[in-house]
Structures are given as structure tokens and as C-alpha cells.
Amino acid sequence: MMATGGFAGSVAETPAVAVWTKTCVALKRELGEATFGSWLGQAALRERGEELCLVAATGVARDWIRRHAWRRIGELWAQNDPMGRNLDLKSRMEFDAQGPAPAGYADAVATAAAAPTQAEVIEIEVPVEVSAPAARAGRQQGLQDRFSFETFVSGPGNEFAFAVARRVAAWSDGHFNPVIFHGPYGFGKTHLLNALAWEAMQTAPTKRVVYITAERFTSTFVKAVQDRQTAAFKDELRNADLLLIDDVQFVAGKSSTQEELFHTLLALVEDGRRVVMTADRSPSELTEMDARLRSHLQSGLVCGIEPADRTLRLGILERKLATLAGQGKFVPSAQADVLQFLADRFTDSVRELEGALNTLVARVGGDISRMTLDEAQAILRPNLACNERRVTVDQIQKTVAEHYQLKQADLISERRARVVARPRQVAMWLAKQITTRSLPDIGRRFGGRDHTTVLHAVRRIEALKAEDPMIARDLDVLLRKLRG
């Protein structure tokens, strides 16, 4: 018998399905739509005799679930299952290897099962060498040399998308078509699409790879209509073995362009050719887009790319510093507190994060290894002043209290229970990070506490955010809320 986790057709609901449905509701609320959709939205609950198994679409997804969600799934399953049954976790490939798949098994998870694991992905360090003709063709299409898989830093927020991109670039057989990468501005979608294009051209030089932005698709199509060259325009795209379209949300609201894109997508998919697109939102959220086109985008594999967490931002900074050091011929080193400041301050966009590091290196070059935190803050102060929304301690307290479902009065009270003490420390850390208040002043605004109490709170949260993923996630969410 088969039970779904949100991607197969209608199935009679068994007791196990009911338990899994309740579990999914809680997980979606706790993890967020994007995270749940990327890692658990393609998973399925399987019943084989007495065995109950959660089957992840890929080995990468299985590993992520085991690391980040399995304990919580176990808790929710135990709470909701009156029969107290055990639940196992396997990838689809592992599950199928034990016997024939149940009738009606959805093909929607077949392809990515053979995607490389995270460890296999990270170990690949060989630079991509594209033939000269292909390189010229790529640059003419607007591909950027610096965007390769080797310069892409993967982490929990993007590793599933990264694994899928590498799978597509290897021209592996599969049913996922089209593939849609979606996520916030500035978090690697264009990088991933460029890297996919370069690798695909390197892997299969005889195949035709076409990369185009949605804006260029629109302008080129309009000009082709004006010049009565629509046949040539269609042939250019529909003869591609792999069509890559960046920022597809740009065509929303443009009826004739959407119509052409719809028929192009249909023709390529029906002919077994591959289509990969990026968007700033999930296809279901592109409400201004034609319903038919939106439906076809949703029918493929939708991969969410989440904002980078702190660990990933630090990894991006280290990789960027190594690149800059190679160009400037200096040692790729910087003081830890400088990199940590950049990772904590520039949370909204990888482009802004890299831009801040570019600014520091442009000012001091190889001396960045000796730069202090005060010097880095002084250099970046104009950037910070332009972008910083003035935040008060009162706003921080209100935001933190709301986040942890407390009252603002709890944070300034004498209560020492952990449920209050930890959010209070978080609020003090935020006040130190994003206001100009001194430690004594912050202490006074938290019920007249001594500055040493604030200093202890700041140091405690600094330590915890490196050890506790939940604290790190809370800090990221709160910083984004407070900075607007």
C-alpha cells in the first residue's frame, strides 16, 4: 500500500496516512513553506507489510531530513500515532532495492534518486574547461565565467537545488522537466543556472545549450514579431537540447510573450528536451502569470533556495576571500571577528555580503589579514548608514517577544526561567549588534540590569549561534524583521 507526503495522486487514507498528514501540517508550520517544499514536499510515506517508511526523493534529501528534521518527525509521529509504530527513513533507491514498488508509485521522484550525495558534490574540485567555441557561444549568450559549480558554496538552504543542477548538467536521464529554481533575490539562482550551462556544455559538447534571461526572451520575441521573424525565433529556442531561462517571473503580465513561452516549453518537453528556469517565487505564487503556463511550471521539479544561514554566509566569505587573494596575490586570511561581523550584518543578499568584502579588500588589499573589527566597521560605515533602518531597543524587545510568544514585560522582568531568559539574551545580543547603545544603557532598558549581565548575554548567544542551529535560525529571522 502506498501513502503520500504531498506529491502523488489521490489514495485511500489509511491510519498511517492520517498520522503523516498531521505530522506534515506541524512540520510545514515549523520549517516554513520553502524548506518543507524543498526537502519533505517530494517525500512519501510507504507501507509494505508491517514496515512503515518515509521515502525521500533522493539520498541528499534523506540525509538532510535525518540531520535537520528526523528527531522532530519522530516526536510528532509518536504524539499522533496511537498504535506506537516505528517509522523508518530511506531514499527511494534504497526502498526500491528491497522489492518492487507498490502499484501506483509516483514517477515524480524517480530521477533525482541517483543525484550525488552532499559529500560527493563537495569533493568535486576540478575546474570546468569548456572548448573555445562553446566558451565563445556561452559568453555571447551572457554566461559569466566566474559562475561555476566550483565557486558555488552549498549548504542546507541550497544543497538540494545544487544536487539537482549537477544532475541536469550531467545529462542524466529522468522525468523532471521542467526544473524550476526559486528563491529570494541575491542568493545564487543565476550562479546556479550559469554553472549548469557551463558544465552541460563541457559534458556534452555536441548538444545545444541555450541560456537566455526572461527579459531578453521578451525583447527578442517582440523584435521578431515586428520584423516578421518569429519562425527564426522559434527555431532558435526549440532546437535547443537544454534551454535555460533566468528570472522567468519577468514575463508575468505579458500575454503574447507568455503564450510564446508556453508553446516553447510544451514543444521542448514533448520532444524530450530539457528546460530549467529560475524565479524569485514559487510558481504557485506567480499569480500574474497565465494559469496554463504556471501549471506547466508546477508540473516539473520545483526547488526552493532559502536565504543562506550564518554558516553558509561564512563559507561564502571564505571562498570569496580565497578568490580575491588569488587575483591580488596575497594570503587569503582575515580575522574571525571581521568575517563574523560581515556574516551577521549582511544577511539579506549574498551580493551585498560579497560587496562588503570587496570594499574591504579594495581599501586594504593584502593587509586585510591584519584588519581589526573597528577598522572594518569604519570603512563600511557609509554603506551601513545608507542601508540601516534605525532600530530601537523597544522595537527589538517587541519583535523578540512576538517571535517567542512572550510579553514584552517578560523580557524586562526578574523572571529567570529558561523560556524567558534565553529570549532576553537574544534581545540583548540584537541590541548590541544593531543599535548604538552602550552595554550599561542596554542593561538599564532591560529592567535595570548591570552591564556585566548584558556582556554575559552577548557572549552566550555568540557561543550558542555557532552550536545551536535553532538559535542561529532565530537570529537570522529576527535580524531580517528588524532591518525590514
The predicted-structure confidence for 194-246, as pLDDT tens digits, reads as follows 999 999 988 888 899 999 888 888 888 888 888 888 888 888 888 889 999 99
Distance (Å, whole) CA 195 – CA 130: 12
Count CA atoms within 13 Å of residue 20 on its CB side.
25
- Grid coordinates representing 140 are 555571447
pLDDT for res 309:
74
Tell me what percent of the chain is helix, strand and coil, each rounded to the nearest 5: 60, 10, 30
The candidate with the shortest Cα–Cα distance to 305, out of 35, 121, 66, 115, is 35
How far is the C-alpha of 428 from the C-alpha of 57, rounded, in Å?
42
143: left (phi over 0), alpha (psi -120 to 50) or beta: beta
Q: For residue 440, say if its preceding peptide bond is cis, omega within 30 degrees of 0.
A: no
- Quick one: which of 141, 27, 20 has its CA closest to 88? 20
Judging by DSSP bridges, how do beta strands 274-279 and 179-182 pair with one another? parallel
C-alpha cell at 421: 531568559
The whole-number pLDDT of residue 429 equals: 92
> What local confidence, expressed as pLDDT, does residue 59 receive?
66
541555450: which residue's cell?
Answer: 210
> What residues in the chain have per-residue pLDDT under 70?
1-13, 33-35, 37-38, 57-60, 97-141, 173-175, 348, 383-389, 484
In this predicted structure, what is the pLDDT of residue 104? 34
Amino acid 422: pLDDT: 93
Q: CA 92 to CA 59: how far, in whole Å?
A: 8
Cα distance between residue 379 and residue 401, in whole Å: 34
Q: Which residues pair with 44 in a beta bridge?
A: 4, 55
Please state the pTM of the whole predicted model: 0.53
In this prediction, residue 193 carries a pLDDT of: 92
The three-state secondary structure class of 98 is: coil
Find the angle CA(153)-CA(247)-CA(159) to the nearest 5 degrees: 25
